[in-house]
Each structure stands twice: as structure tokens, then as C-alpha cells.
């Protein structure tokens, strides 16, 4: 069986590399930027991860 190291971020639904992913309260893979924005009460915007790099 071949598995992918990419999954979809549970917040923004964009692909995320599982080697660098964070997890949310429910154990789902998320981008760190998305998780921080969610905790601050700000929904992630398109390209929010790209602009933070």
C-alpha cells in the first residue's frame, strides 16, 4: 500500500505535508498559521501561509 505524506489542512482545506504539520485539539493535521489564526478568532485567508513565509 502506498501512502501519501500529504493531507488536507482541517482548517483551510489546502494540502499540508505531514512531516511539517501541526495538530489541532482533535488531532487533525493543520498548518501552524491556520491554527494560530483560528485560536485568535481570525479565519485564515487565501495565501495566508504564503505571506507568512
pLDDT along the chain (53 residues), means of 10: 76 92 93 92 62 45
DSSP state of 37: H
Look-up of cell digits 493531507: 7
Secondary structure of residue 39 in the 3-state scheme = helix
**Residue of 34, 42, 37 whose CA lies nearest to 11:** 34
pLDDT of residue 4: 67
Pairing relation of β-strands 6-8 and 22-23?
A: unpaired
Residues in the chain, total: 53
Secondary structure of residue 17 in the 3-state scheme = strand
pLDDT of residue 51: 45
Amino acid at each position: 500500500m502506498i501512502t501519501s505524506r500529504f493531507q488536507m489542512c482541517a482548517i483551510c482545506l489546502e494540502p499540508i505535508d505531514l512531516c511539517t504539520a501541526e495538530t489541532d485539539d482533535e488531532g487533525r493535521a493543520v498548518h501552524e498559521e491556520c491554527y494560530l489564526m483560528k485560536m485568535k478568532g481570525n479565519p485564515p485567508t487565501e495565501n495566508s501561509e504564503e505571506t507568512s513565509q
